Amino acid sequence: MTRRFRDVAERVLDALLADAPEWALDLGDTRGAGRLTDHSVEADSRRVAVLTDALGSLDEIDADLIPADDRVDLEMLRTRVSADLWHTAELRPHTWDPLIHSPGEAVHALLERDTLPLPERLEALAARCAALPAYLDTARTRLSEGPGMPRVHVETALGRLEGARTMLAEAVPALAAEHPELGSRVEPAREAALAALEEYTSWLRTELEFATADPRLGARQFAAQLWYTLDSELSPDALLVRAESDLLATEEAIAEAAAEYAGEPRRAGQVAEVLSALADEFETGSEGVVPACTDALEHLYSRVRELDLATVYDDPVSVVPMPVSRRGVAVAYCDPPGPLDPNSPSAVPPPPSDERLRRQPTPTRLPPPPSNERLRRQPTFIAVAPPPEDWPAERRTSFLREYNAGMLRNLMVHEAVPGHALQLAHAARRRGHTRVRSVLGSGTFIEGWAVHSEEVLADHGWSAGTDPATRRTNLALRLVQLKMRLRAILNAILDVRVHAGDLTEAEAITLLTERGHQEEGEAVGKWRRALLTSAQLSSYYVGYAEVSDIARDLARERPGEPVGRIHDAMLAHGSPSPRHLRTLLGLEGPEL
């Protein structure tokens, strides 16, 4: 049965990857590098049939007859296939969300990473450019025949189309110039793609006037989306109750920290005053955002190693401005090398102690990967979006006050070390019997780990020392971290009350600015993000609660174990959802 499951799992994964070539290329699978996803009606029918067959094949596996590690892979794969089937047959976002059809993703991966040798990248670019006119025609057809588009989705898609236009007009010719003999192959396809993009953009601008659909999912669809996103039985109502309770507790914690920082008794309005003073103290300009993040990252590598909070690898990490084609939803993201890329850390052969690691209750620290020139050329990108130049001065100022240099320190904890970049570097080194956990990752665990890491670093302090200046610096980080915990909790509250309730924009802005102490520009952006996404905003809070509970319970199971080895044990299994990580660690306990 074990062999049968692993064969079925690989076939199902191949079907998923073949159906979504842009996603596959992001993962490092280059077999579909020249293709684009088919969103036609006929493709929907084929997709439903394939997913239904895949689900049937997985249901035939007797989970009681396979090892726990494979059983987790089975459940993760079943959840993913079920989610894809629900999205295709019921939610159908490709019929109302133009962001699904944003063509920038088709080009971006081929420009950004050298997963393929340059001649093959250019051939793939030419093929994708040649396919873009038909791809955009299909997008227009599906969106025209759908239930209607929400205005916020159309506005965001138009912004991203400008980024795609820049890539086609400037970046593709620049890359083609590095291999002139292929220019004649790329140029006609690029010109046709650019013309099709301009035509599609013009159509979408016209449609903006008629984009009046409600972006809220509604209670029933949101509950399903929450289930598939979190991989948890937590209901929207239960999530809301837990989050509102934790909001009160966190408000108490940040009030105590603010009073200590101010050196005076607690009083009304003190938290807002202290956070405003920190924004003044850590003021930075637009041109200083990326350098501030780079400086923070350099410090964090040293600090996390000094504290031994987890094994830190020497994989390259670069802070870059976020591409315009990916802006409009989040302020920052972490983009590691694709786990299926043969040049990524996941391709490094496992160390001889791999079997021993699986048997020992306390994993030893893995050695760094061997030197490899191509490996060193595959960095993890931490992309940060500075405020756009066309924003009004007041909005740019608001953004820079929210993301001051002190806040950017905490952002780099979350996005880089010991957050996403470190966690994903561990995940890339896991060796499994299938590719399931290389390809599929739980956003609940990934975001939960990053928020948990913020708290861990704040507990230990930005710097060592007990002198007044260092204590003040560390307390400033604690205040920012608690503000971010408020944000994570409010993300979940906003998510539920927008999609399963009737929260208005004015109510949301008041909630975020008054109880979350967010700048108005950040609050407006979060409102838009809540409308553009569903359930993803809940993953930060739910993941944090579940991952922190696992860290606590594992420490109880292993008294005296250093925190770094506790964290290494948690990071040794890829990125499964927290409930599956409990199984893999041998922990009992209820879900959140």
Name the residue type at position 82: S
pLDDT of 588: 76
CA-based max dimension of the chain: 73
> Which of the four pLDDT bands, split at 50, 70 and 90, describes residue 416?
very high
- Which segments of 463-562 does DSSP mark as H helices, in order? 468-499, 505-510, 520-532, 538-557
The residue count of the chain comes to: 592
Spacing of C-alpha 429 from chain mean position: 19
pLDDT of 50: 98
> Which of the four pLDDT bands, split at 50, 70 and 90, describes residue 182?
confident
Task: Name the strand (E) or helix (H) holding 364.
Answer: none
pLDDT of 239: 98
pTM over 0.95: no
Pairwise CA distance, residues 391 & 399, whole Å: 10
Average pLDDT over residues 312-321: 94
Question: With 50 as the cut, is the pLDDT of residue 360 above it?
Answer: no
Q: What SS3 class is residue 312?
A: coil
Share of the chain above pLDDT 70, in %: 93
Question: With 50 as the cut, is the pLDDT of residue 248 above it?
Answer: yes
CA-atom Rg of the chain in angstroms: 24
Encode pLDDT of 10-59 as tens digits.
Answer: 999 999 999 999 999 999 999 999 999 999 999 999 999 999 999 999 99
Pairwise CA distance, residues 53 & 581, whole Å: 28
pLDDT of 507: 98
Question: With 90 as the cut, is the pLDDT of residue 80 above it?
Answer: yes
Residues 311, 314, 316: CA angle, nearest 5 degrees = 130
Half-sphere exposure in the Cβ direction for 224 (13 Å, CA): 13
pLDDT of 330: 74
Question: With 90 as the cut, is the pLDDT of residue 265 above it?
Answer: yes
Encode pLDDT of 548-577 as tens digits.
Answer: 999 999 999 999 999 999 999 999 999 999
Encode pLDDT of 328-339 as tens digits.
Answer: 667 888 999 999
Kindly report the backbone phi and psi dihedral angles of residue 440, in degrees, each rounded to the nearest multiple of 5, phi listed first: -110, 135
pLDDT of 331: 85
